[in-house]
Amino acid sequence: MKLNVFGRELEVVRRDGQWLAFYLGNEGKKRLAGDLVIPAEIDESALLTYLADVYHEWATPTQERVFFISMDETLKDSHE
């Protein structure tokens, strides 16, 4: 799923019981967000709040929200 976190785009996927996050570039490239650890027990409904707490310093008067851009991909583990 793709998210807008205070104006910056992230892609978050669930794989093997863990969350993986990627920073998305303007040219379509993405890189692993190695500095972001999303606890495995965080569920989809708490993801926006968690990311807002972690990245609150990114907020500006014109970029004050965290929201889903798309949720095309499955959020279920292949083991579920």
- Three-class SS of the chain: CEEEECCEEEEEEEECCEEEEEEECCCCCEEECCCCCCCCCCCHHHHHHHHHHHCHHHCCCCCCCEEEEECCCCCCCCCC
Q: How far is the C-alpha of 20 from the C-alpha of 61, rounded, in Å?
A: 28
In a domain, 10, yes or no: yes
Contact call for residues 60 and 7 (beta carbons, < 8 A): yes
Q: How confident is the model at residue 14 (pLDDT cuts 50, 70, 90)?
A: very high
In a domain, 59, yes or no: yes
Q: Which residue has the higher pLDDT, 79 or 2?
A: 2
Instruction: Give me the pLDDT at residue 3, please.
Output: 95
- Number of domains within the chain: 1
In a domain, 43, yes or no: yes
* Per-residue pLDDT at 11 exceeds 60: yes
In a domain, 77, yes or no: no
In a domain, 76, yes or no: no
**Which amino acid does the sequence have at 64?**
E
Instruction: Give me the pLDDT at residue 21, please.
Output: 96
Q: Of 2-11, 23-32, 44-53, 69-78, give the lowest mean pLDDT range.
A: 69-78
| Structural domain boundaries, residue 16 | 2-70
